[in-house]
Structures are given as C-alpha cells and as structure tokens.
Amino acid sequence: MKVMKFGGTSVGSPERMKGVASLVTKSGEPTFIVLSAMSGTTNSLIEISDYLYRKNPEGANEVINNLEQKYFGHIDELYSTDEYKQKTRLFVTEIFDYLRSFTKGLFTSFEEKNIVAQGEVLSTNMVVNYLQEQGVKATLLSALDFMRTDKNAEPDLPYIKEKLSAIMKVHEGYQIYITQGFICRNAYGEVDNLQRGGSDYTASLIGAAINAEEIQIWTDIDGMHNNDPRVVDKTEAVRQLNFEEASELAYFGAKILHPTCVQPAKYSGIPVRLKNTMEPDAEGTIINNTLVRSKIKAVAAKDNITAIKIKSSRMLGASGFLRKVFEIFESYQTSIDMITTSEVGLSMTIENCSHLSEIVDELKKYGTVSVDSDMCIVCVVGDLDWSNVGFETLATDAMKDIPVRMISYGGSNYNISFLIKEADKKRALQSLSNVLFN
C-alpha cells in the first residue's frame, strides 16, 4: 500500500480536490491518503484564536462567518448531488457552530489547538464525501484515534503502530483510506499537533506504521530542485537523494520538506517520493537509503541567521570552556546551526534570536563578544566524504568572489556550509549553480 500526502495548495479549491480524487483512484489499488487543511484555512483559524486571546469575540465571529460562507461556496462547486451537498453542509455547519462555542468562555492554548485542528477535519470530510459520491469505496479514519505524542512531545511510534493496525483490520476492504495530517493527541489525551513537518510527518509515521511500499509527498513543485528556483535561473529537479542528503537540504532551506519528517521512513527503509500535483506524470524526486558516490546533488540557503563570536585567552588549553558556552545556549533553548573554533576564538550561528541579548550578556562573562546579523547559510549537499579529493575545492572556487564569514566542513559527509551576508545570497547561489551544475 502507498501513502499519499497532499498539502494545502493541492486541496486548495474544489477543482483541486477533484484533481486529488482522480489521482488517488487512478491505480485502483488500496491507498492511504493524508490531507492538510485547505490553503488559507489554518491562517484564518489562527486569526480566530488571536481575536479570542485578545478577548474580542466580535472579531472572531466575523472571521468565522466569512470562512463558513467560503466553505458553503466550495460545497456548491464540489458536489453534483443534493444528497451530498446537504450532508456536507450539515457537517460544515456543525464545525462552525463548534468554533463559535469558543467565543463564550475561557480561552487558552488548549482551546487554540482544538480550533486549529478543524482545518484538517474539514478538508478530509469534504474529500471523503466527494469520493463516496463518485462511487469510490472510501473511508475516513480520524487521526485523533491513533496519532499520539509521548510526554516528550515526540511521536509515540509503538502506540501509533498498534492502534492503526487495529483500526485497519476493522476497516478492511476499502480502496481509499483518508486521515488528517498535522493533528494528534498528546500523552494526556488532549488535542495537539505534530508541529515540525506537520502533514509530511504524519505521512511518514503512517508509512512506517503500516510498512508502506512508498510514501508520496504531493506539493506544487516537481520535486526538490538543485538550487532555489525563486532566486536562481535554470534549476532542475534532483531525481534521487539519500535520506541524509534530503535532511541536510531541508534543514538548510529547502522548503519543500521538513528535516524531521523523513526520519520514520528512513529507519523503516521506506522510500519517500516528492511529486507535483500540477504535473502528476513528472518523475519527481525519490529519497531512499541509496548513496550515489562522487556526486554533488544540490544547494540550499537558510536566511535570517545571526553569527556570534566569542574571543577569550581563557580558551587556550582550558578544559570545560566549550561546555560553559553551550550551557548558555541550552538554558535559553536556542539551537546552534554552525560552529567553528580556534585556539582563542569560537564562532557560532543561530536562527532564533528571541534571547539574543541575554545570551550575549552571559557570554561576556567569558570573553569579548561580537554579533553579525542579516547573515545567510549556504549549504552544498552531496557525497562530500573527505576521500573525494577536490570536491570541497569546487565549492570554494565557486565562492571565490563572495565574502565568507565562516566555513563548516567535515561535521557531516554530506555537506559543506558557508556563512555569508544575506545581501550576497543571490550572487552566491547563482555562482554555485554555474560551477557545480551548469
């Protein structure tokens, strides 16, 4: 069985929903479908929550009413029979009445998660009703019945596998199984969400739980490109990536995928394929455990980076210095992206600057601190094992006209990273494309 995940733009209109229905029924084989909320819906639900946090029920109700009317319009476009129009209209009315119930009482983060979850609940019900109207044997499985996180907010894999296996046995014989992406319950049974990777993460977890043949992530781009097509001319889709290469690219800026979402698939040995809803016959990108030797695959860039440098003679031959520095970042729950060291200096980059001033104040106890903002990490990914003589030289040659603040190489066999000014990003990416791919 294949698992197919469709994002918000793929189910962003009645026409797109019909397209998804056509895609998932094409093979005639049993398929497990994971759906995001219709594009724009989650933003509206967050806006509703924002009004309720600010104790403005009138503002919340206005957004609720506008969104409800939008969905009623979608219903008229999507269904051809009065039976399914009426059935779906009643369901949508129930959901929006439920949303209105939050305007009458105490509002906390618990209520917000319940509100935000309704986007996926709406899209999955609409699609399963459309499939049933078309005569397809389809069923809806609520993600809240089997998708759970543990007390560390990490997916509870044994629980997910056990519950989903039992549910699938009860629902044997269907062609299409549909569930919600993103949403889950936490260890205490409350409605929650997977946060990182959202629906992609759901698809990967389900694929691992049912030992799927393949996990397909359908978006609005034909796979992962060898550079950022929004910035660079003449980019191409990469046809194959190792799981490690895909994670590096996702972490360092490739928005098509979240770095954590492929981990369950990787450990289960299940290939992940990135496909384009607008061009369903395009090959896309396959991600698996195969490593193509001696090849540079792609380039990605991560914006909004801040570099912090601490210089201290106390570092010289001192044990425990690095531990003290890292404990400061840990205490403020701020992760480090890149790090380079010398005898008396330490440079690090961070993306989350919410506690920058406190971190700098703490670091000043140990040395002189300087900060560079508006920076960008450019990452070159492929088989960059140190035994591949000259590969790092190709990347550095492409950057010869770009001022480089830091270089990170050797921490992974799959990437070499450069820290540059954001203003130089376009020039750097284009130069790397020209040297490495064109």
Q: Are strands 138-140 and 176-180 parallel, antiparallel or unpaired?
A: parallel
Instruction: Compute the distance between CA of residue 146 and CA of residue 67 in angstroms, rounded to an integer.
Output: 29
Q: Which of 414, 430, 377 is nearest to 294 (CA)?
A: 414
The residues with which 179 forms a beta bridge, in sequence order, are 34
Q: Which residues of 385-419 are buried (b: 16+ CB within 10 A; e: fewer)?
A: eeebeebbebbeebbeebeebbbbbeebbbbbbbb
Assess contact for 431 and 398: CB atoms under 8 A.
yes
Is 179 in contact with 124 (CB distance < 8 Å)?
yes
Q: Measured at the alpha carbon of residue 54, what is the angle toward residues 51 and 55, in degrees to the nearest 5?
A: 90
What span, in angstroms and rounded, lies between the C-alpha atoms of 17 and 130? 9
Residue 150 annotated as part of some ligand binding site: no
Does the annotation place 8 within a ligand binding site? yes
Alpha carbons within 13 A on the beta-carbon side of 296: 25
Phi, psi of 269 (to 5 degrees): 70, 30
Q: Is 220 assigned a ligand-binding role in the annotation?
A: yes
DSSP H/E element including 288: strand 285-288
Q: By the 8 A CB rule, do 311 and 345 touch?
A: yes
The conformation of residue 225, written as its DSSP 8-state character, comes to: B
Q: Residue 290, annotated ligand binder? A: no
Q: Is 7 annotated as a binding residue?
A: yes
Binding positions for ATP are 5-8, 219-220, 230
Binding positions are 5-8, 42, 120, 219-220, 230
Binding positions for substrate are 42, 120
